[in-house]
Amino acid sequence: MRNVLIPTKLDKVAASILENSGYKVLQDSETELMTLALNHPETEALIVRSEKITSEVMDVLPKLRCIVRAGAGYDSIDIKYARRKGIDVMNTPGANSNGVAEEVFAMALAAYRHVIPADIDTRAGGWEKKKFMGRELTGKTLGIVGLGNIGQLVAKRSTGFEMKLLAYDPIISSAKAEEIGVKLVDLETLFANADIITLHIPENDETRGMINASLISKVKTGCVLINCSRAGIINEQDIRNLKAEKKLLFCNDVYPKDAPGPKSVTDIADIMLPHLGANTHEANFVAAKRAAEQLLDYFEKSVTNFVVNKGIPDGLNAKFQHLAFKLAYVARCLIGKKAPISQIRCSFYGDLNRYDKWFVAPISAALCDNFDPQQAPEEALSFLKDRGINYESRAVDEQKRYGNAMTIDLETGSSKVSLRGTITENTLMITRIDDFNRVYLVPQGNVLIVEYTDRPGVLASITAHCAEAGINIEDIHAPRDSDGKNAIAILLTDKLVPNAIVDKIQAVVRSHKAVSISIP
């Protein structure tokens, strides 16, 4: 008999499914988690929602084998420590998506029709019909920032309102966008043309503070901005400064902490909800049901599709996964971070060929900061498929004698970038970029890559611009292509070369491509 602990308010369907399969289940949302853990050391599996599962909790559960997060996000679980303890962590992606998507329209309708202030006024005896003149959703332009599970459902749910759809997503393919029925545009175009803007992106170093004065200043007068994503992606002060001028309506459901107390957006939010996006009976039921079913499959059938902290198979050096990530990341920067990728083609040589599926997750993580490189291969393939990106692991010709090496190609339909890499003396190395061999780039730190028609004086011009900007060059390579017509300058610098300097270099040397990259 398996022992399962559910220390959270979760639909009883999870306990029912497990108990009907002969499992012993304790569901207790009132007792403190550590107390429960200490009193039930026999626990083999946990099903949780937002509870923090720390190393201390895991240490007092010696038989724990699996933790299931009934929901998508799992940042409240120390997945790295779980991996060291041999504990698998699973999530139930997509279970809450519809609840969040519907909340977008609930907030938009409430804002357009003054539902909250009109209710308060009417209860107080008022009858302010003129004051609460509203607007209709039908025919409006909806801007969706982020086309993951939730963003795609928002697009689908909008059809009843006959809305025009604009979307921004840096990795979804054009074909997938067409299938969804959205027009892909850049952020500036979306903010300038949408009547309602809804945000569905992760918070990370690239997106933090992304919704700022530069974008907000472009919106239409009376625009509705809805954030059911993450608090940190918005610059609150910029909304505060521009709200009156733009007559902006701001609807918010996310905060730095999910906890009672004063909220910093109180003075600028027209509608505030306590993170209710996934808080529906249906979402709770679906997440609970999936958590239980996945746990049964895990124990009874050894199914690990939804494990988010998988290790690597015996015989594979983890550094090759890091290499796959770095190759894909640099390729992504070279082809353009905003370019819609439609195809990934990979070749894995030597012993790496039999481990090809284990590179899909780190490659996916290089394309999207919100994807965990430790996700299962099946989840990574599903992630790419949902965004209309085809993935191909090609048959290889071992007579080329590349040894343990890999090639990763990214394609948009109109352009392509191809990189090859290997590990030399325990050091990750990019050996080829497109037609340029003998690149010998160690993918770390700050790198400036400039491709140009080969001629005297170009390198001197590039280095001079760096010197003028106070940028020190630590190393430089400048191989030519096989025809000897073009060259590529690869400079390792002590700090990231600013875009303004890159633009100057590109103009002066008439380069085919110039990109400044900070490689994590």
- Tell the CATH superfamily of the 445-520 domain: ACT domain (3.30.70.260)
Q: Which conformational region is residue 34 in: left (phi greater than 0), alpha (psi within -120 to 50 degrees), or beta?
A: alpha
User: Alpha-carbon dihedral of residues 490, 496, 499, 504, nearest 10 degrees?
Assistant: -50
Distance CA(215)–CA(235), nearest Å, equals 11
DSSP count for the chain of H helices, then E strands: 17, 21
CATH code for the part of the protein at 3-95+282-301: 3.40.50.720
**% pLDDT > 70, the chain:** 100
- Tell the CATH superfamily of the 311-434 domain: D-3-phosphoglycerate dehydrogenase; domain 3 (3.30.1330.90)
Non-local CB neighbours of 443 within 8 Å, separated by 6+ positions: 323, 326, 327, 329, 330, 421, 428, 429, 430, 519
Q: Examine the pLDDT at 27 and tell me if it is beyond 90.
A: yes
Domain ranges of the chain: 3-95+282-301, 97-272, 311-434, 445-520
What's the pLDDT band for 379 if we cut at 50, 70, 90?
confident
Count the alpha carbons within 13 Å of 504 in the hemisphere toward its beta carbon. Answer: 13
CA–CA distances in Å: residue 81 to residues 42, 53, 54, 77, 189 = 20, 10, 8, 9, 43
* pLDDT value at residue 494: 94
Q: Please check whether residue 194 is in contact with residue 224, taking contact to mean a CB–CB distance below 8 angstroms.
A: no
User: Alpha-carbon dihedral of residues 371, 377, 378, 383, nearest 10 degrees?
Assistant: 30
Distance CA(310)–CA(302), nearest Å, equals 13
What's the pLDDT band for 73 if we cut at 50, 70, 90?
confident
Distance CA(18)–CA(27), nearest Å, equals 12
Distance CA(347)–CA(485), nearest Å, equals 27
Q: What is the pLDDT of residues 307-347, one digit of tens each?
A: 988 877 778 888 999 999 999 999 999 999 888 999 999 99
Q: Examine the pLDDT at 277 and tell me if it is beyond 80.
A: yes
Q: Please check whether residue 481 is in contact with residue 436, taking contact to mean a CB–CB distance below 8 angstroms.
A: yes
Instruction: Show the tokens assigned to 64.
Output: 């724990």
Burial of 416 (0-12, 13-18, 19+ CB in 10 A): middle
* pLDDT value at residue 271: 97
Angle between helices 318-335 and 360-367 (to 10 degrees): 30
Q: Examine the pLDDT at 370 and tell me if it is beyond 90.
A: no
Domains 97-272 and 311-434 share a fold: no
* pLDDT value at residue 229: 93
Distance CA(58)–CA(78), nearest Å, equals 9
Q: What is the pLDDT of residues 103-160, one digit of tens each?
A: 999 999 999 999 999 999 999 999 999 999 999 999 999 999 999 999 999 999 999 9
Q: What is the pLDDT of residues 186-214, one digit of tens each?
A: 999 999 999 999 999 988 878 899 999 99
What's the pLDDT band for 258 if we cut at 50, 70, 90?
confident
Q: Shortest CA distance to 210 belongs to which of 369, 448, 389, 328? A: 369
Q: Examine the pLDDT at 513 and tell me if it is beyond 80.
A: yes
CA–CA distances in Å: residue 128 to residues 134, 155, 399 = 12, 34, 81
* Class of domain 97-272 as given by CATH: alpha beta
If you average pLDDT over residues 28-40, what whole number do you get? Answer: 96
Q: Taking the model in full, what pTM does it have?
A: 0.80
Q: Please check whether residue 419 is in contact with residue 432, taking contact to mean a CB–CB distance below 8 angstroms.
A: yes
Q: Integer distance in angstroms from the first to the last C-alpha of the chain?
A: 45
